[in-house]
Amino acid sequence: MITLSAADFGKSSIDTLAIPVCEDKPLHQGPVAELVQAVRQAHAFNGEAGERMTWGQPEGSRIRCAVFVGLGKAGDLDADAWRRFAGGAVGEGMARRLKEMHLAVPSPEATGMEEADLIAAIAEGACLGNHVFDRYKAEKKRQPLEKICLLTGGGAVKAHLALVERIETTCAGTRMAREWVSTPSNDKVPEAFAAEVVAAAKEAGLKATVLDEKALRRKGFGALLAVAAGSDHPPVMTVLEHKPKGAKKTVVLVGKGVTFDSGGINLKPAGSQIEEMKMDMAGAAVVAATLISIARLNPPVHVVGVLPLVENMPSGRATRPGDIVKSFAGKTVEIGNTDAEGRLILIDALAWAVQQYKPDAILDLATLTGACVVALGEKIAGLFSADDALAEAILTAAARTGERCWRLPLPKDYKEQIKSEFADISNLGATRWGGAITAALFLSAFVETTRWAHLDIAGPAYSKKASDYAPAGGTGFGVRLLLDLLDRI
């Protein structure tokens, strides 16, 4: 739980208080400023970036322990620096096995940020950082804090209570997506993962339906079924729906849900991150967690989450390179490479969702290409859209949540690359260059008349290493971005 209140150091006693300190500027007023002043003088703590210091029972205060966190120069601090501060502080609290921790919010004037943005960033860092994934470990070394209290030096606390509450919900969504992504593939085969999603969705009050393999066959999901063919675990497609009365807009979110991507007959070789491919359902996890958060936040928009769930495996029944299948949209697809499976399940899900819901906008999130990671690295998602307004809205949301996206082009002449000699289209580019683009162009051929955007999250969906506000594993990248976006499309 996270709370926000005005600090009253005279009355309440505090166990552990984390205090951000800059080297060039005081950030606080009142008793906290005095503490910082004292520690600066007595212990030569300068507030340099990365510097940290603990002071037990500072004299004359009712604080049992003060943790000073150095942040460097005040002018360099942006929202993400405040998320990192809060995440790092909470991490320190968890390492100390605390149950409760206080964080001293600086005065907004000192940071040059709006009070709401500052509080939001600190609340986000704290909520996102307060997370451990240890379901598979006997020894639980760290445990999330039970309570995090943000203390302001005054200001309009009441005006921000709803904001903090919203952040608690959105960050719970991110944590939920992370856990699903970090869960190993043996514990989330399509039907099992669908069952978990449906249970969580129903509990949150969403309408949830599952199309099983038979239904998918009947409806003609030929491209999706081709991916699933090699696995002993049948595919499913889960649909989650938030439909408030009077909603004027319909938005569909589609998430790639490959519960394990071996590559299929084009088996991934060693060194191609095959052991990380449990994360290939991150798009689906993010969409599911977003819908569940939406149910809690109840925005006045009709939102549908579509999760095509398959396992991509090689076997005697697996689809072969060169096979031609008929997609839901009716177009035939030559499967040049069975490892380009994400786009195959997505085109069927996209085409079905467009037909079923006639949405005002459709977005897909997918760990689609290694090429996107080559282009943008592991922290930035590729954004593709022919619709400038939609792309701008996504970039704005991304800037606000710190889930960075970079727009990449959809050049028409590159469509040449995905022409097939024998079928209507090929799932593989003629050359390996521009692989993130050819994948996006392939998708675009199946959503020609609807406002559409595609986020290639292959880089930021998963991290081998822990960061200031996320443990190692699934990052939940996209949940907060999508929730922010819904308010502006």
Report the catalytic residues: 268, 343
Task: For residues 384 and 364, give the distance between their C-alpha atoms in angstroms, rounded to a whole number.
Answer: 10
3-state helix vs strand vs coil in the chain, percent to 5: 40, 20, 40
C-alpha 439/C-alpha 450 separation (Å) is: 18
**In the complex, minimum distance from the CB of residue 366 to Zn ion, in angstroms, rounded to a whole number:** 8
Instruction: Note whether 364 binds Zn ion by CB under 5 A.
Output: no
CA–CA separation, 250 vs 486, rounded Å? 10
458 binds, among ligand BES, Zn ion, Mn ion, none (CB under 5 to 8 A by kind): ligand BES
To Mn ion, the closest distance from the beta carbon of 179 in angstroms equals 23
Near ligand BES by CB under 6 A: residue from 191, 213, 311, 341: 341
428 binds ligand BES (CB under 6 A): yes
CA distances, 462 to each of 305, 364, 387 (Å): 21, 17, 28
Q: How far is the CB of 280 from Zn ion (least distance, A)?
A: 4
Nearer to ligand BES, 129 or 435 (CB): 435
The per-type count for the chain, helices as H runs and strands as E runs, is: 14, 20
Residue 261 touches ligand BES, criterion: CB under 6 A: yes
- Within positions 431 to 470, which residues make up the interface with ligand BES, using CB under 6 A? 435, 458
Task: Give me the 271-300 binding string for Zn ion, x by CB under 5 A, dash otherwise.
Answer: ---------x--------------------
What's the CA angle centered on 153, arms 150 and 158, to 5 degrees?
A: 65
Number of Cβ atoms within 10 Å of the Cβ of 371? 20
DSSP 488: T
Question: Cα separation of 404 and 381, whole Å?
Answer: 6
Please state the closest distance from residue 418 (CB atom) to ligand BES, in A: 10
CB 143, min distance to Zn ion, A: 34
Q: Contact between 342 and Zn ion (CB under 5 A)?
A: yes
Question: By rule CB under 6 A, what string of x and - marks binding of each residue 217-256 to ligand BES?
Answer: ----------------------------------------
Query: Where along the sequence are the contacts to Mn ion (CB under 5 A)?
Result: 261, 339, 341
Interface map 263-282 toward ligand BES (x if CB under 6 A)? ----------x------x--
Q: Is the dihedral of CA 387, 392, 393, 395 positive or negative?
A: positive
- Of the two residues 70 and 230, which places its CB atom closer to ligand BES in the complex? 230
Q: Are 31 and 9 in contact (CB under 8 A)?
A: yes
Q: Which residues pair with 452 in a beta bridge?
A: 362
| Binding residue for ligand BES, selected from 46, 169, 337, 420, defined by CB under 6 A | 337
261 or 484: CB nearest Zn ion = 261
Q: Does 371 bind ligand BES (CB under 6 A)?
A: yes
Q: Note whether 224 and 236 are within 8 A (CB).
A: no
What is the C-alpha separation between 243 and 162, in angstroms, rounded? Answer: 23
Comparing CB distances to ligand BES, the nearer of 111 and 312 is: 312
List 115, 124, 261, 311, residue binding Zn ion (CB under 5 A): 261
Interface with ligand BES (CB under 6 A), residue from 115, 168, 334, 339: 339
Task: Compare residues 152 and 427 and give the one whose CB is closer to ligand BES.
Answer: 427
Q: Give the whole-angstrom CA distance, residue 188 versus residue 194.
A: 8
Q: Hey, which residues between 351 and 370 contact ligand BES (CB under 6 A)?
A: 367-370
* Residue of minimal Cβ distance to ligand BES: 370
Identify which range of 28-36, 183-191, 196-204, 253-261 contacts Zn ion by CB under 5 A.
253-261
Nearest to ligand BES of 4, 372 (CB atom): 372
Task: Indicate the residue among 224 and 371 with the shorter CB distance to ligand BES.
Answer: 371
Distance in angstroms (rounded) separating the CA atoms of residues 426 and 403: 32
Nearer to ligand BES, 261 or 468 (CB): 261
Kindly state the DSSP code that residue 167 receives in the 8-state scheme: H
455: left (phi over 0), alpha (psi -120 to 50) or beta: beta
**Cβ atoms of 402 and 80 closer than 8 Å:** yes
What lies within 8 Å, CB to CB, of 143 at 6+ separation is 94, 97, 132
Q: Under the criterion CB under 6 A, does residue 311 sit at the interface with ligand BES?
A: no
User: 35, 19 in Cβ contact below 8 A?
Assistant: yes
Footprint on this chain of Zn ion (rule: CB under 5 A):
258, 261, 280, 342
Footprint on this chain of ligand BES (rule: CB under 6 A):
261, 273, 280, 337, 339-342, 367-371, 373, 428, 435, 458
